[in-house]
Structure 1
Amino acid sequence: MCFSEWYINGDYLVILVSIIVILPLSLLRNLGYLGYTSGLSLLCMVFFLIVVIIKKFQIPCPLPLPDTGNETMHMFNITPHSDNVTIDDDTCKPKYFVFNSQTVYAIPILTFAFVCHPTILPMYDELKDRSRRKMQNVANVSFLAMFIMYLLAALFGYLTFNIHVGPELLHTYSNYYKYDILLLVVRLAVLAAVTLTVPVMLFPIRTSVGHLLFPGKDFSWIRHAIIPLTLLTGTNILVIFVPSIRDIFGFIGASAAAMLIFILPSAFYIKLVKKESMKSIKKIGVRHY
């Protein structure tokens, strides 16, 4: 199959998964039902993290030359010559601080990675015996767990490839090992995790759009279905036509994520907390934050 045919079939697969898997889950009225899919998604990402750590100790350094996909060479463990990879002992020494033209992408991507603010209120509404303290504990555990997972995945991924690490870690693995069964399973697990995460993200968006465009209206299944369908259509267009997910993460992280994490919470605190003076330490700190 030629590359163009695979690319077209890949687009069809994205649309098919959106219709068969994501859309039905996005039509659920309560966020609590998505807890099971979210748990499965988390298990898939834990599996991804475990494999990243294991591969750090399996992949040699200096790295082998990239796998060209040639069946004969792969069968007899023959690696072709390539000028794109430098086999040098210096490549095995991690650099603890690197500043270049790509560094600017790190901040918005890190910001995007910790955006969960839109789901806070729906999650709070689904809690049993809900209270502010209980919600704070949920947030603390969630942020800590995600921080540890992100940190370990980034650390061991970088220590595996050092200067040869790419913007997408799984693609970097596939450049060197196209026939590794475990890595193929990991790719499927990550795809499943991302697929099952989309309905959770669509839930607060659908609710917000409904309240914004149809305030005070009674529930309607037609409206309930049209909103996520429209959102999924726009998402699929982005997935098909934007070449790198880094561009999407960077744009959202620099715009919407920055608003949700830094600007809006501070503005809400200043506006809603009337008992404290604008000259109080907390509000001065919020304004500078």
Structure 2
Amino acid sequence: MEASWGSVNAERGWYVSAQQPEEAEAEELSPLLSNELHRQRSPGVSFGLSVFNLMNAIMGSGILGLAFIMANTGILGFSFLLLTVALLASYSVHLLLSMCIQTAVTSYEDLGLFAFGLPGKVVVAGTIIIQNIGAMSSYLLIIKTEFPAAIAEFLTGDYSRYWYLDGQTLLIIICVGIVFPLALLPKIGFLGYTSSLSFFFMMFFALVSAYALPTMAFSFLCHTSILPIYCELQSPSKKRMQNVTNTAVALSFLIYFISALFGYLTFYDKVESELLKGYSKYLPHDVVVMTVKLCMLFAVLLTVPLIHFPARKAVMMMFFSNFPFSWIRHFLITLALNIIIVLLAIYVPDIRNVFGVVGASTSTCLIFIFPGLFYLKLSREDFLSWKKFGAFVLLIFGILVGNFSLALIIFDWINK
């Protein structure tokens, strides 16, 4: 199905006016989009909680050691790379919001539908599902392997046979008691309070990194959560949501940089890819190290329910887009996703390697390739315009980064 300006989106039944790009950039929402946003949000999520949710999505993307990267690239090289990724991520969000205003759609999947018809929607939804399942499984794998060790450091003597030191048992209890109930919440805005708690955990990591530093994500992928957060924002507008994004990206950049810098200055050339292992090796049973490790694990844990929302929505969009909301369907899809990620975390020992390839491809698509490609397809601006040229640069950058990342991962596998 080819969707064009001034046409009817047959699947969603939305009419999109043939507005010029300058008109689409207006701060006021189109009436159709405004109605859709008001339908989805009640009463609306505050600016601060939206920032916390978006920061939680940003800092919960990927598993890379920031200090290890700084040790290999240098402080200046790392700063340039981190700033480049942050600016490009913010710009790609700007393109997504522009397309959201122009097309009156409120989901990443529908942007794919509007740009390339049903195949576009399926590709976007499938990419979101794969990326989010991989991310959630990776986080749960960290919980399974690191949580028992963190608890054991507070104990003396041999407690190895006790249930609270068994990773699988702890994982199941945590998922049933924390992850599943939070993931069942009907609106992503409700997680703003837990996201704020996760933010303060991250700040604690950064401030005490002279002693301990979490293994945090070197990534600014938050695009699957952008539109759900946008839909529930109080007084939603493109400018207000862009301010939410810029604030979240800036604070995330600050935490990333401080954490990486202090971790690097602690170990220099002996930095490990996961710093907590290094601190546990050199400072066993240190109270500060143990406390930070627990905080890092809780921060990772509180990210998992947030990632449930775009994953569940992608499943809904693929298979149940024409059905009204049902609590039974909502419950069953959440339960199925929870079971899948728990089983993967328990029974796939090398899940981080498996999803390293998936993450390098899907994350690159969601943060760089799709926003650039969709904007080039949907915008009627001249190709030499700054925004369209920027979209083209974003697309090419994403293709190069994705292929380069995959090549490095495969080369590393061959060497090992």
Q: Shorter chain as normaliser: what TM range?
A: 0.7 to 0.9
**Partners of 1:203 and 1:120 in 2: CA distance:** 11
Match of 2:383 in 1: 278
Could you tell me whether the CA contact under 8 Å between 1:48 and 1:186 is conserved in 2? yes
Q: 1:27 aligns with which of 184, 189, 195?
A: 184
* Mean CA deviation greater in 198-207 or 131-140: 198-207
How many pairs does the alignment contain? 236
Match of 1:39 in 2: 196
The offset of 1:16, in angstroms, is 1.2
Q: Does 1:113 align with 2:270?
A: no
Structure 2 portions without partners, runs of 5+? 1-157, 395-416
Match of 2:168 in 1: 11
Match of 2:318 in 1: 212
Match of 1:265 in 2: 371
The offset of 1:279, in angstroms, is 4.7
**Partners of 1:170 and 1:44 in 2: CA distance:** 15
The offset of 1:254, in angstroms, is 1.0
The offset of 1:232, in angstroms, is 2.0
What letter matches 2:383 in structure 1? M
Structure 1 portions without partners, runs of 5+? 57-108
Could you tell me whether the CA contact under 8 Å between 1:117 and 1:260 is conserved in 2? yes
**Partners of 1:260 and 1:5 in 2: CA distance:** 42
Match of 2:267 in 1: 161
Could you tell me whether the CA contact under 8 Å between 2:206 and 2:258 is conserved in 1? yes
* CA RMSD across the alignment: 2.7
**Partners of 2:378 and 2:296 in 1: CA distance:** 40
- Taking structure 1 as reference, are residues 255 and 128 closer, same or farther at Cα in structure 2, changes over 3 Å only? same
Q: Secondary structure at the match of 2:322?
A: coil
- Taking structure 1 as reference, are residues 15 and 48 closer, same or farther at Cα in structure 2, changes over 3 Å only? same
Q: Does 1:193 align with 2:273?
A: no
The offset of 1:282, in angstroms, is 3.5
What letter matches 1:145 in structure 2? L
**Partners of 1:8 and 1:233 in 2: CA distance:** 22
**Partners of 2:388 and 2:339 in 1: CA distance:** 42
Could you tell me whether the CA contact under 8 Å between 1:119 and 1:204 is conserved in 2? yes
The offset of 1:251, in angstroms, is 3.0
Provide the TM-score with structure 2 as the length reference: 0.52
Which of the pair has the greater relative contact order for Cα pairs under 8 Å at 6+ separation?
1
Matched ranges for 1:99-178 at <5 A: 113-178=219-284
Q: 1:247 aligns with which of 353, 372, 396?
A: 353
Match of 2:205 in 1: 48
- Taking structure 1 as reference, are residues 7 and 253 closer, same or farther at Cα in structure 2, changes over 3 Å only? farther
Provide the TM-score with structure 1 as the length reference: 0.74
Could you tell me whether the CA contact under 8 Å between 2:212 and 2:276 is conserved in 1? no
**Partners of 1:143 and 1:26 in 2: CA distance:** 24
The offset of 1:286, in angstroms, is 2.3
- Taking structure 1 as reference, are residues 173 and 41 closer, same or farther at Cα in structure 2, changes over 3 Å only? same
Larger gyration radius, structure 1 or structure 2: 1
What letter matches 2:193 in structure 1? Y
What letter matches 2:173 in structure 1? L
Could you tell me whether the CA contact under 8 Å between 1:41 and 1:193 is conserved in 2? yes
Could you tell me whether the CA contact under 8 Å between 2:159 and 2:165 is conserved in 1? no
1:31-81 deviation line (CA, Å, top 9, x unaligned): 11111000011111111111114569xxxxxxxxxxxxxxxxxxxxxxxxx
